[in-house]
Amino acid sequence: MKKIITFGEILLRLSTRIGVRAVQASELTMHYGGAEANVAVSLANFGHTVRFVSKVPNNPLGHAAERHLRLYGVDTSHVLRGGERLGTYYLESGVGERSAQVVYDRKYSSISELTEEEIDFDEIFQGVNLFHVSGITPALSPTLQKLTLQALQRAKAHGVMTSFDFNYRSKLWNQKEAADAIKPLLPYVDICSCGELDAIHLLGIAEAPVSLSKEMKLQYYYEQIQEMYPNITYMSSTFRQVISASANTLQGNLYTDAILYHSKEHHIEPIVDRVGGGDAFAAGILHGILNGQSPEQTVSFATAASALKHTVHGDCNVFSVDEINGFIENGSGRIIR
């Protein structure tokens, strides 16, 4: 199995019970998560050697976040301790036609105050096969914008394959801020998770003709992105139809060698917890690429991993390769005896 580095913030998540709004809540459920941390957990569950690079406060919450990662086999030897607080977010769980709502409380978190002097990417990338980061990390502070770029540059200098997930969050920055920060990163990216809205609003690509099918539109956007950044060899995304907060359909897409591959469509109902579904998909794509699987196998595995994530509480995916492959083979809903 491969050696992987992910770089980002691990957060404390406090969630309401389904059917309870935040203004009504008298109790909240604790989980730990965050985009790059979730990808790290998935890839560790798949058998890879994964290290998470971050910074958490030297207090019980920071220690618990590290413990969460170690519980799933993620190496925390590059998690620094310092700063005053662990980033937090509150999730008002959605149900039926009522959407879930997120409130962030992550200003001045430990990782947002990370300095360039505290981190040595040349040491971190020794013997590493893959580096993964998302657009959430550079959104957290100007220093993290610089560090994300440095990380990608140093990874490429060490011959490390790189992965970037746009993961645009409108509550962290606006589209212009995101575009200005993300565009300089893309020349150093091999694997990119991005969709139609990223192409239009962050990369400035003209909208595809409305007469095209959704598959043809996505192919058009990926062709345009690859023309701008020929170094990107894989692009991935999902088609999600939101029927309600409790029922979605999900289909995965993977573009490589000028061909767009699709998974079958999964109907997910009821959704237990949607948060982290995209991270589970991203990890599945990375696993397939690292293992030399065909594009068809890779996108099928990644979408199945994401579909399963929707069935468990918490941010991270807790399914193994065998369990995901068994789900692909046996289908949904059957009792496994």
The span from the CA of 188 to the CA of 154, in Å, is 9
Distance CA 49, CA 44 (A): 6
As given in the structure block, the two tokens for residue 210 are: 């409305």
Distance CA 15, CA 27 (A): 9
Are the CB atoms for 236 and 193 separated by under 8 Å? yes
User: How many helices (H) and strands (E) in the chain?
Assistant: 10, 14
What phi-psi label fits residue 199: left (phi over 0), alpha (psi between -120 and 50 degrees) or beta? Answer: alpha
Token pair of 229 as six digits: 């950044």
- How many other C-beta atoms can be found within 10 angstroms of the C-beta atom of residue 8? 27
**Structure token pair of residue 15:** 């969630």
Point out which residues pair with 90 in neighbouring strands.
14, 103
Could you tell me the sign of the dihedral formed by the alpha carbons of 250, 256, 260, 262, in that order? negative
In the block, which residue shows the tokens 């212009």? 176
Q: Where are the beta strands (DSSP E) in 16-142?
A: 29-33, 49-56, 79-81, 88-92, 101-105, 130-134
In 3D space, the residue among 203, 214, 157 whose CA is nearest the CA of residue 178 turns out to be: 203
Active site (annotated) includes residue 180? no
Which residue reads 């170690």 in tokens?
70
| Catalytic-labelled residue, pool 165, 190, 198, 279 | 279
Pairing of strands 266-268, 259-262: unpaired
Q: Pairing mode, if any, of strands 247-256 and 88-92?
A: unpaired
The DSSP code sequence of 160-188 is -EEEEE----TTT--HHHHHHHHGGGGGG
Inter-helix orientation angle 60-71/35-45, to 10° = 30
Catalytic annotation, residues? 279
